[in-house]
Structures are given as C-alpha cells and as structure tokens.
Amino acid sequence: MDIILVICSYLYVLAVILIPKYLKEKEKISKFTARKLIHLLAGLSIFITPFLEFYWYSVIIAGSMMILTYFSSKESKVKQLKSLFDAIGEEAEEKVGYLQGPFNYCLSIFILMLFFSIFAPTRFYFPISGILIMIVSDTLASVVGKKYGKIKIKIKWTHTERTIIGSLTLFLTAFIVSFFAYLFFGTVIPTSQQVIDLPQVIIFSFLTSIIATITELLSPSTYDDLTVPIITTLIIFLLSSSFIA
C-alpha cells in the first residue's frame, strides 16, 4: 500500500507541475497564475503521510522535489528543467540561478517531514497544518492583498509590503485549514495519529492562525515559504505539549 501511495503522490505532483507549465507555454495562463497553481496544489501530496507505514517516504518525496527545483534554471542543460524555470521563474530568481521560492517551499516540507518522522510520528497533523497554511493561506493572502489591499503594512527591515486585507485573509484561512487538518487527521480519521478532541482542535487552530499571521508579517517575502510553515508548526507543536498527554 505504501508503494501505491508513493506512486500516486509522484504522479499527482508531476501533473500539478506539468499542466500549468504546459498552459503557460501555450499562453493560456500567465506566469503568475501557473506559479500560484503549482504553489497551491503540489503540497497537497503530504496528505498521504499519516496513512504510510514507513513515514520516510514523505521525506524522500520532498527531497526529490528539492533537487528538481534547485536544478531548474535558465542555464540548465536539461531541457525540461530549463523550460520549467522559463514557465514559472521570477526575475529575482534569475539572479540566484534557480527556483528559489519553489525550492524553499520544498525545503520547508522536507524539514517538517524529517523532524516529525524522527521526533513525533504520531502528530503529523501539525506539519500538515503548517504546510496547508503555506500553500493555501499564503497564496490567497497574496492574491487578495494584491487585488484589494489599500491599507499597507510596512516593516522596514523585511523589505516587504503587506496589506491589512491580505493579513486578515491569511488569519481566517489559516484557521480554516488548521481546523480541517487537526479535525480530519486528529479526530475523524486519526489512523496512526494521536487523537485530539474538538476543544483541542479549536484551540490549536486559533493559536496556529495567530502564530502564522505574525510570522508572515515579520518575514521577508523571499523566505516566507520557509519561515511561516516551520516556525508556526514548531511553536504550536511545543505549545501542544501542555494539552496532549
């Protein structure tokens, strides 16, 4: 069963990458849309983790995606990797030489899967929540903030401009996706995970959304795919020790 889940995960991730890439090359969608679609959907492959007997498969999958994004550049001799960079690469990433944003995205998943595989394999709902915030909440906050954000939040040292509506969007959606992760994987279908009750689900969801919003506000946009999921997950995991026996 593990092998079937891993194969399905790889096929899913490849489809999520190749379809937007193809649509961008055919000028059916913009580079921004292609990148956001991949950002929004690729990380959902982590849903298989609580159902695996050998959790390290998730670490392997995330690690292989790190390699893929790191070697995707304009200078790549592999045609597919070069075309992937052309389809979703940003101007700032041309200077660093690889898909820095997607690489940080994969790196954060890798770090969280590695940490919880070693130290807390019965509490994968915490990294799943943090990753969902990165892929869903951060994406929606960016889209809503750019379209409707009129009141700006400027924190000089981050060199990043946020908006009130964007941060509010992140807070609300972070609560929703966290509630889903904790309820589904910790209460409804816990499988191999430590069970948590509904009051704990609500408390964890609220705390997680607050931590994520503050972390995102204080993070440079170049690194928020690393800081938001990792810092949020580790803090709520440590706080949860007071609630979970």
Evaluate whether 29 touches 81 at the Cβ level (below 8 Å). Answer: no
How open is the CA angle 14-212-66, to the nearest 5 degrees? Answer: 30
Q: Identify the weakest region by mean pLDDT among 23-27, 146-150, 153-157, 211-215.
A: 153-157
Q: Looking at the predicted structure, is the pLDDT value of residue 143 above 90? A: no
For the chain, the domain total comes to 2
- Identify the domain containing residue 155 by its residue range: 123-245
Tokens of 134: 């990165």
Tokens of 101: 């944003």
Question: If we measure between CA atoms, which residue out of 211, 205, 245 comes closest to residue 231?
Answer: 211
Q: Is 54 helix (H, G, I), strand (E, B) or coil?
A: coil
Do 152 and 233 sit in the same domain of this protein?
yes
Gyration radius (Cα) of the chain, Å: 18
77-83 contacts: CB < 8 A, separation 24 or more? 83/21, 83/25
What one-character-per-residue DSSP string does 72-94 give?
Answer: -STT-SSHHHHHHHHHH--HHHH
Q: What was the pLDDT predicted at 20?
A: 94
Cα–Cα dist 157/14, whole Å: 37
Tokens of 194: 């430590």
Q: Stretch 123-138: mean pLDDT, rounded?
A: 95
Enter the DSSP assignment of 160: E
For residue 184, give Cα distances in angstroms to 64, 92, 118, 132: 27, 38, 22, 13
Q: Looking at the predicted structure, is the pLDDT value of residue 242 above 80? A: no
For residue 225, give Cα distances in angstroms to 162, 217, 229: 15, 12, 7
Model pLDDT for residues 186-212, shown as the tens digit of each residue: 999 878 899 999 999 999 999 999 999
Q: Hunting for tokens 């593990």 — which residue is that?
A: 2
Q: How confident is the model at residue 235 (pLDDT cuts 50, 70, 90)?
A: very high
Evaluate whether 224 touches 213 at the Cβ level (below 8 Å). Answer: no
Do 73 and 4 sit in the same domain of this protein?
yes
Do 42 and 102 sit in the same domain of this protein?
yes
Q: Stretch 27-41: mean pLDDT, rounded?
A: 91
Q: What was the pLDDT predicted at 158?
A: 66
Q: Stretch 135-150: mean pLDDT, rounded?
A: 86
Do 176 and 206 sit in the same domain of this protein?
yes
Q: How many C-beta atoms surround the C-beta of residue 72 within 10 A?
A: 26
Do 172 and 127 sit in the same domain of this protein?
yes
Do 113 and 129 sit in the same domain of this protein?
no
Do 141 and 51 sit in the same domain of this protein?
no
Model pLDDT for residues 59-80, shown as the tens digit of each residue: 999 999 999 999 998 888 888 8
Q: How confident is the model at residue 245 (pLDDT cuts 50, 70, 90)?
A: low
What percent of the chain clears pLDDT 90, i.e. is strictly above it? Answer: 67
Model pLDDT for residues 88-103, shown as the tens digit of each residue: 988 888 888 899 999 9
Do 106 and 177 sit in the same domain of this protein?
no
What one-character-per-residue DSSP string does 111-157 give?
Answer: HHHHHHHHH-TT-THHHHHHHHIIIIIHHHHHHHHHHH--SEEEEGG
Do 114 and 43 sit in the same domain of this protein?
yes
Cα–Cα dist 122/186, whole Å: 9
Tokens of 192: 């191999």
Q: What was the pLDDT predicted at 74?
A: 83
Mean pLDDT over all residues of the chain?
91
Q: What was the pLDDT predicted at 88?
A: 92
